[in-house]
Every structure is written in structure tokens, then in C-alpha cells.
Amino acid sequence: QVQLVQSGAEVRKPGASVKLSCKASGYRFTSYKIHWVRQVRQAPGQRLEWMGWIKTDDGGTRYSQNFLGRVTFSRDTSATTVYMELSSLTFEDTAVYYCARRAHIVGAADACDVWGQGTMVTVS
């Protein structure tokens, strides 16, 4: 079945970097962009924050202004895996990081229809 499987939880100190992976299976890897979204605890609930996307065919990227200069997406087509590296970590980067596939339905190309299970990153 179509799925995205993400790497395990990480703990980093402030100022460090973290690199997460997201392995795709069950579909043609190069046909769909992969987005990265993080979920941050913010009273009274949790908010989703879009980080950007990577085109899995040619490696083209689009980053959110909020992460410019700190985030890098990459991919390995032979391994059907996408990576997200975030540098200069601060306590505010503590969050669950998701990779998500661009929806395959025409008319839903700006949405995500398959999500990874999420990776908890703790900056402490």
C-alpha cells in the first residue's frame, strides 16, 4: 500500500542540526511532490506549520520564508527517500515533523493525501 515511513525520534541541543528521512513506497516515487509540515504545541492546542516541498523528479525545492536559510530538502530516488535537514536548532523547533505526499486527485494538487507517521524532534 501507499505509505511514507519516517525515521525515529531525535534529541538535539540548541545550535545543532537534525536530518530526518521519509521513505516512500507503494507508488511511483518521482510522480509526486513531498511536503514537510511540522506540528508545534501552542496553547490551547497544536498548530500545523508548512516548511516547504521538494519535487521528487528533479529535486526542485520551495521553502517557507519562516525557514529560509535553515532548512534543506534532498532526495535519493534510488532509495525512494526524501530528507529534511534543519540547522541552528532552538527550543522553538521542538515539534513533530511530518512528510506528506501531494494528493494524487486532480483538483487536490495543493493538498496532501498520504502522511508519514511523524518524527518527534526535541531540542533540549
Sheet of strand 81-86, all strands in order from the earlier edge strand to the far edge:
3-6, 18-25, 81-86, 71-76
Which positions touch other proteins (CB under 8 A)?
A: 35, 37, 44-50, 62, 64-65, 98, 100, 103, 105, 107-108, 110-113, 115-118
> Would you say 119 and 10 are in contact if contact means Cβ atoms under 8 Å apart?
yes
Instruction: Give the end-to-end CA distance of the chain in Å, rounded to a whole number.
Output: 36
Considering the complex, state which of residue 8 and residue 107 has its C-beta at the smaller distance from other proteins: 107
CB of 13 to other proteins, least distance (A): 27
Considering the complex, state which of residue 64 and residue 72 has its C-beta at the smaller distance from other proteins: 64
Name the nearest CA neighbour of 50 among 114, 3, 110, 124: 110
Considering the complex, state which of residue 46 and residue 77 has its C-beta at the smaller distance from other proteins: 46
CB of 91 to other proteins, least distance (A): 21
Which set of grid coordinates corresponds to residue 43?
A: 496553547
Considering the complex, state which of residue 18 and residue 51 has its C-beta at the smaller distance from other proteins: 51
